[in-house]
Amino acid sequence: MKEQSFIPPSRMLMGPGPSDVSARVLEAMARPTIGHLDPQFISMMDEIKKLLQYTFITSNELTFAVSAPGMAGMECCFANLVEENDKVIICKNGFFGERMKENVERFGGIPVMVNDDWGQKIDLNKVEECLKENPDTKIVAFVHAETSTGALSDPKSLTELAHNYNCLSIVDTVTGLAGVPLKVDEWNIDAIYSGTQKCLSASPGLSPISFSEAAKEKIMSRKSKVKSWFLDLNLIMSYWEGEGGRSYHHTAPINALYGLHEALLILKEIGIENSWKKHMDNHLILRNGLEELGIEYLVKEEDRLPQLNSIFIPDGVDDLAARKRLLNDFNLEIGAGLGVLAGKIWRIGLMGQSSNKKNIEHCLDSIKQVI
């Protein structure tokens, strides 16, 4: 068989990510490639910084996009803030808390786990008890919006708790950014990372990230070198910080950054608070439709992410066969369960461009036919 140009099918992306990418963003990515140190490209990088500051609601100077997916954003935070024998409390209530633990171990830190059931939000009392038992803790790390379950935790209270015990906070908001309220400066978050393929509706491959002055000071006063060269912020700072000039660090993913720039412009046109409201309004429409089908949620209502809906697979329905039929017969992608929830739940994404009434109607009708 002779190889030929790949023409992907047109899908409705309603899984845990990626989400649908708008024609505007795709068109932006198709524009001519220029050099990564071209003055015009550098000017656009400055705009991306400002637009990300708007999106995170922060004035942090160290706000930029890591040239790799959200998991590289996670690794960037831990690589720069964790040193040998640093004790890190990790709040685990799903799949991605385990990845935090793995990062801490690889960078020589000592992970201390605070475990909650998958589908539950993080228990503040458990975290405080752990902080009392471990007064030498340096960092508290947690997931704001747990992609594996659709559970929403409270970053404001968790960060305040961390600071009360002289710790920095690391926050995973890969699925949270632009989908639910997030106020980095007001909540005094120290290090936070996200992804472009969720509620921002850009292509996968970049990780928006932001560091407070306290986090930046810790990075600059490290006793040892950061164990990742590519993610060493002492090197990256000279590439993204400041206006105008840039020092060479790596060749940026130029066209992907065009797409992120356009996606952030779209978000600013909508307004960040309107984006939060849109996700909640559409979640309620989906929830009502699922309840009419007799389908139940994993997460209790007050702790649910509006943009990531985890539902129990109805009795008698074959998980793989049903999702395969949704994809092949209805061009609809939804997500399977991860870890302990594999084969038990489906994850329906209502993120960014995918979060609209037409998609919801198609999703509900397709699921009704499949089950």
pLDDT tens track for 105-126? 999 999 999 999 999 999 999 9
What's the CA gap between 33 and 182, in Å, rounded?
A: 33
Mean of the pLDDT values across residues 91-118? 97
One domain, residues 115 and 227 = yes
Give the tens place of pLDDT for each residue, 275-290.
999 999 999 999 999 9
Q: Report the CATH number at residue 313.
A: 3.90.1150.10
Please, what is the Cα angle at 319 between 317 and 321, to 5 degrees?
Answer: 90
Q: What are phi and psi of 119, to 5 degrees?
A: 100, -10
pLDDT above 60 for 245: no
Residues 366 and 249 in one domain: no
pLDDT tens for each residue of 234-244: 888 777 765 55
Extract the annotated binding site. Answer: 347
Clarify whether residues 57 and 159 are in a common domain: yes
How many structural domains is the chain composed of?
Answer: 2
What's the CATH number where 204 sits? 3.40.640.10
Q: What is the pLDDT of residue 247?
A: 72
Q: Which residues are annotated as a binding site for substrate?
A: 347
pLDDT tens profile 189-225? 999 999 999 999 999 999 999 999 999 999 999 999 9
Domain end among 242, 267, 292: 267
- Read off the pLDDT of each residue in 291-296 and give the average, rounded to a whole number: 97
Q: Are residues 216 and 185 in the same domain?
A: yes
Does residue 306 share a domain with residue 262? Answer: no
Indicate the residue among 223, 250, 267 that finishes a domain. Answer: 267
For residue range 138-174, list pLDDT tens digits in order.
Answer: 999 999 999 999 999 999 999 999 999 999 999 999 9
Residue 236 confidence (pLDDT): 84
Residue 234 is predicted with a pLDDT of 87
Same structural domain, 141 and 229: yes
DSSP string for 130-149: HHHH-TTEEEEEEESEETTT
By the 8 A CB rule, do 331 and 345 touch?
no
Q: Which of 216, 232, 267 is the last residue of a domain?
A: 267
Q: Is residue 191 in a domain?
A: yes
Average pLDDT over residues 65-91: 97
The arithmetic mean of pLDDT across residues 64-76, rounded, is: 97
* Residue 244 sits in the same domain as residue 289: no
Q: Coil, strand, or helix at residue 349?
A: strand
Residue 198 and residue 328 in one domain: no
Range of the domain at 280: 12-18+271-370
Distance of CA 109 to the CA centre of its chain: 23
The encoded tokens of residue 278 equal 């849109």
Q: Is 140 found in the same domain as 223? A: yes
Q: Are 114 and 92 in contact (CB under 8 A)?
A: yes
Residues 256 and 117 in one domain: yes
Question: pLDDT band at 188, cuts 50/70/90?
Answer: very high
DSSP alpha helix (H) spans, 107-253: 124-133, 155-164, 213-220, 233-240
